[in-house]
């Protein structure tokens, strides 16, 4: 591997995180990069930035599901909404931390949320345990471990670290100190990895110097 890894910040609640996860490994391999998964709590990002999630805005909620379905068809990956949305993803996030970022478990949990016709979701301990069992882990033990204080702290710490880096949504793919947000940014991430990023330091400084002349109340 050459160069820093691609840090993949995600929450199972996001269909776009699922879609990006199905693509990021091949993209990384094309450029000799490793992928470092970072499970974080999307709701905490929303609270910190004072914003709403797509599912909390009625017209956007419907649009997002249609958009995700269309993108899944383009990628050639299965797509089926979970039994409820928004849902509480904490158990699944904690289970990944407890597993040591086991890629197979992440695959299985994403599939149970967004890629299976059974619409199992990942809110319930028995589903998380079954996903763990399916990839060779001890599901019951992992679910129990996911409730430990240090594992809960690990999710909070990962979320805090993402916030400190300026992450505001999921998925966010970070290379060094450069973030790329959402599935739309995957081609831009690849452009960046090829050394063809049109964003120059001078342009970035100019953008940062722009001040607002109007505000919304």
**14 belongs to the catalytic site:** yes
The three-class DSSP label of residue 41 is: coil
Phi and psi, residue 189, nearest 5°: -60, -45
Q: Which of 14, 84, 99, 185 is catalytic?
A: 14
Query: What are the b/e assignments for 30-61, b being 16+ CB within 10 Å?
Result: ebebebebbbbbbbbbeeeeeeebbbeeeeee
Sign of CA dihedral 177, 182, 55, 85: negative
Rounded distance between C-alpha atoms, residue 168 and residue 106, angstroms: 21
Catalytic residues: 14
């Amino acid at each position: 591997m050459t160069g820093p890894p691609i840090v993949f910040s995600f929450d199972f609640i996001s269909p776009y995180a699922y879609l990006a996860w199905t693509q990021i490994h091949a993209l990384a391999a094309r450029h000799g990069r490793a992928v470092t998964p970072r499970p974080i709590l999307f709701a905490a990002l929303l609270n910190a930035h004072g914003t709403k999630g797509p599912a909390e805005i009625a017209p956007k909620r419907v649009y997002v599901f249609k958009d995700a379905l269309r993108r899944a068809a383009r990628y050639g990956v299965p797509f089926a909404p979970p039994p409820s949305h928004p849902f509480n993803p904490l158990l699944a996030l904690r289970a990944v931390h407890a597993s040591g970022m086991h890629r197979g478990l992440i695959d299985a949990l994403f599939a149970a949320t967004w890629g299976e016709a059974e619409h199992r979701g990942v809110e319930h301990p028995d589903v998380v345990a079954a996903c763990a069992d399916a990839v060779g882990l001890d599901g019951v033990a992992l679910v129990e471990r996911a409730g430990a204080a240090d594992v809960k702290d690990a999710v909070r710490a990962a979320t805090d670290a993402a916030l400190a880096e300026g992450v505001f949504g999921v998925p966010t793919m970070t290379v060094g100190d450069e973030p790329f947000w959402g599935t739309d940014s995957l081609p831009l991430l690849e452009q960046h990895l090829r050394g063809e990023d049109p964003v120059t330091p001078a342009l970035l400084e100019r953008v940062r110097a722009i001040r607002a002349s109007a505000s919304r109340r």
